[in-house]
Amino acid sequence: MHGASVSLRELGKSYGPVPAVERLAIDIRPGEFLSLLGPSGSGKTTLLMMVAGFERPDTGAIWIGDRNITQVAPNRRDIGMVFQRYALFPHMTVAENVAFPLRMRGFPKTRISQSVAEALSLVQLEGLEKRLPAQLSGGQQQRVAVARALVFEPAVLLMDEPLGALDKKLREQMQIEIKRLQQSLGITVIYVTHDQEEALTMSDRIAVLRDGYLEQVGSPADLYDAPATAFVADFIGKMNFLDGICRKLGADCLEVDLGRSGTIILPQQPVASAPPLQQGQRVRLAVRPERMKLDRHDDRKISGVIEAVIFAGASHTFLIRLAGGEIIHVQTQATHGGSLPQEGDRIGFVIPDDAVHVFPQAEC
Ligand SMILES: Nc1ncnc2c1ncn2[C@@H]1O[C@H](COP(=O)(O)OP(=O)(O)OP(=O)(O)O)[C@@H](O)[C@H]1O
Ligand SMILES: [Mg+2]
């Protein structure tokens, strides 16, 4: 088994007047694990259904390797699929469920039983061949669905929230199993989830969707460290936002007026925004909680009052209310000994210049 490249070229799909996916383009490498991440209704399932061939795109094309498969029937696309609900046939045994795609494709009986045995051993379900789906746990049913999707050795595997029905512990265990399977088979995976942690753990790259549009595609580190939009910044990981107005704008300096909360001066314009910022423009600053540092000297330009301290094992999170009313989260490593700032203390904080992302507010 080996993965193939998948090229989505300006794909678009509307349901009546409702646009579900709009001019979406992504090139996926052979053997890559790509996640589609976005809130409910952002077009993830629609996109996957078009790749699988169960929905017809209104515009654009889908290529697998050097084949344009836009018009090709689902069972001729060399694609396996695990659906949002496992969609096992309830009246068929485990072995019959897994054999189904091969029977559909007219494989000979001996070949079928050999491939079914291999697929079941791949997902560690040997011995359960004769059970019905209702006699399996959620995790086992999910494995059957994976075995059924892999049994005809497709070059590409599509998975639509395959772990959505499982509890957290089993979900984390299955994430590792799926990742291991994908790596050992070298298969290309397109994986839908609305769980950002799941996407960050499993993916080579993540495509963030919003209202049918691609907001950004990049590695987990790209999205975390250099979000292209305020939406991505908010969706991936925890983020503090501060709204303000650009006051002074020099070649090497940006001053942002936060109203009653103070002024932040950044020595250079750390902005990836095009077009460039204008004086007087409304901007949204974004800073990760773990990039902020507490500073007990309260003569800092920006300070606030600690509203709460949350202990979470390895770290503390301080919720600090600024003069303008914004609540900022500051996360620090837990230290032993020494006194921690307490609820009600006034405290300043330091924001390293390279920790600030600036977004023009029109985009927010
Ligand atoms: N068969 C359909 N008929 C009409 N509208 C549809 C249909 N399927 C999806 N839609 C609409 O298209 C948009 C995208 O839906 P889609 O199911 O692709 O979202 P999703 O990202 O998979 O969401 P979820 O996380 O809830 O599964 C939504 O606005 C949805 O209401
Ligand atoms: Mg969906």
103-111 long-range CB contacts below 8 Å, 24 or more apart? Answer: 104/75, 105/75, 105/152
Angle at 357 between CA 352 and CA 362, to 5 degrees: 150
CA of 316 to the centre of ligand 1 (A): 39
41 lines ligand 1 (CB under 6 A): yes
Atom of ligand 1 nearest to the CA of 161: 27
> Does residue 117 sit within a domain?
yes
- The CATH code of the domain that includes 142 is 3.40.50.300
193 lines ligand 1 (CB under 6 A): no
Identity (one letter) of the amino acid at 15? Y
Strand partners, 310: 317
154 lines ligand 1 (CB under 6 A): no
Closest to 61 in 3D by CA, of 25, 28, 29, 87: 25
Q: Any idea of the CA torsion for 179, 53, 117, 143, to the nearest 10 degrees?
A: 40
Q: For position 254, what pLDDT does the model report?
A: 82
Say which residues have a Cβ less than 8 Å from residue 325's Cβ, sequence separation at least 6. Answer: 260, 261
Of all protein residues, the one whose alpha carbon is nearest to atom 6 of ligand 1 is 15
Q: For position 103, what pLDDT does the model report?
A: 92
Q: For position 166, what pLDDT does the model report?
A: 81
Give the integer Cα–Cα distance in Å for 341 and 278: 39
Which residue has 């929230």 as its token pair? 161
205 lines ligand 1 (CB under 6 A): no
Q: Is the distance from CB of 42 to CB of 36 less than 8 angstroms?
A: no
Give the integer Cα–Cα distance in Å for 105 and 100: 9
Of all protein residues, the one whose alpha carbon is nearest to atom 5 of ligand 1 is 15
Angle at 267 between CA 261 and CA 270, to 5 degrees: 90
Residues 217 and 246 in one domain: no
45 lines ligand 1 (CB under 6 A): yes
Residues 220 and 252 in one domain: no
Of all protein residues, the one whose alpha carbon is nearest to atom 12 of ligand 1 is 20
**How many secondary structure helices (H) and strands (E) does the chain include?**
8, 20
Tokens standing for residue 261: 């909360």
Boundary of a domain, candidates 201, 234, 267: 234
Angle at 285 between CA 280 and CA 291, to 5 degrees: 150
Closest to 205 in 3D by CA, of 219, 191, 193, 195: 219
Residues 208 and 257 in one domain: no
- State CA 331 to chain mean position distance: 23
> Does residue 310 sit within a domain?
yes
Instruction: Check residue 226 and report its DSSP letter.
Output: S
Of all protein residues, the one whose alpha carbon is nearest to atom 30 of ligand 1 is 41
Residues 258 and 190 in one domain: no
Boundary of a domain, candidates 184, 199, 234: 234
Give the integer Cα–Cα distance in Å for 266 and 36: 34
Residues 101 and 60 in one domain: yes
Residues 281 and 206 in one domain: no
- The CATH code of the domain that includes 287 is 2.40.50.140
Of all protein residues, the one whose alpha carbon is nearest to atom 24 of ligand 1 is 40
- State CA 204 to chain mean position distance: 11
44 lines ligand 1 (CB under 6 A): yes
Of all protein residues, the one whose alpha carbon is nearest to atom 11 of ligand 1 is 20
Q: Is the distance from CB of 151 to CB of 166 less than 8 angstroms?
A: no
Q: For position 270, what pLDDT does the model report?
A: 55
333 lines ligand 1 (CB under 6 A): no
Give the integer Cα–Cα distance in Å for 304 and 44: 41
314 lines ligand 1 (CB under 6 A): no
Tens-level pLDDT at each residue, the chain (364 residues) = 689 999 999 999 999 999 999 999 999 999 999 999 999 999 999 999 999 999 999 999 999 999 999 999 998 999 999 987 768 999 999 999 999 999 988 899 999 999 999 999 988 899 999 999 999 988 899 899 999 999 988 999 999 998 887 888 888 988 998 999 899 999 999 999 989 999 999 999 999 999 999 999 999 999 999 999 999 999 999 999 999 998 877 777 788 999 999 888 887 655 555 567 788 889 999 999 999 988 876 555 788 999 999 988 889 999 999 999 999 999 998 877 677 888 999 998 888 888 899 898 864 4
210 lines ligand 1 (CB under 6 A): no
Boundary of a domain, candidates 166, 199, 234: 234
Burial zone of 180 (CB within 10 Å; 0-12 exposed, 13-18 middle, 19+ buried) = exposed
> Does residue 1 sit within a domain?
no
Instruction: Check residue 299 and report its DSSP letter.
Output: T
Residues 168 and 251 in one domain: no
Closest to 21 in 3D by CA, of 207, 162, 196, 159: 207
The three-state secondary structure class of 60 is strand
54 lines ligand 1 (CB under 6 A): no
160 lines ligand 1 (CB under 6 A): no
Give the number of whichever ligand sits closest to the CA of residue 159: 2
> Does residue 184 sit within a domain?
yes
Q: For position 53, what pLDDT does the model report?
A: 96
Q: Is the distance from CB of 8 to CB of 160 less than 8 angstroms?
A: no
CA of 158 to the centre of ligand 1 (A): 17
Angle at 226 between CA 224 and CA 230, to 5 degrees: 85
Tokens standing for residue 134: 């209702």
Full residue range of the structural domain in which residue 223 is found:
6-234
Residues 229 and 281 in one domain: no
Residues 244 and 187 in one domain: no
Give the number of whichever ligand sits closest to the CA of residue 41: 1
The three-state secondary structure class of 151 is coil
Give the number of whichever ligand sits closest to the CA of residue 44: 1
Rg (Cα) of the chain, in Å, rounded? 25
Residues 40 and 132 in one domain: yes
The three-state secondary structure class of 73 is coil
CA of 174 to the centre of ligand 1 (A): 26
Closest to 302 in 3D by CA, of 290, 292, 311: 292
Atom of ligand 1 nearest to the CA of 42: 21
Of all protein residues, the one whose alpha carbon is nearest to atom 18 of ligand 1 is 43
The three-state secondary structure class of 169 is helix
Indicate the number of domains in the chain. Answer: 2
| DSSP H stretches of helix in 86-129 | 94-104, 109-122
Atom of ligand 1 nearest to the CA of 49: 18
Of all protein residues, the one whose alpha carbon is nearest to atom 13 of ligand 1 is 20
End-to-end CA distance of the chain: 43
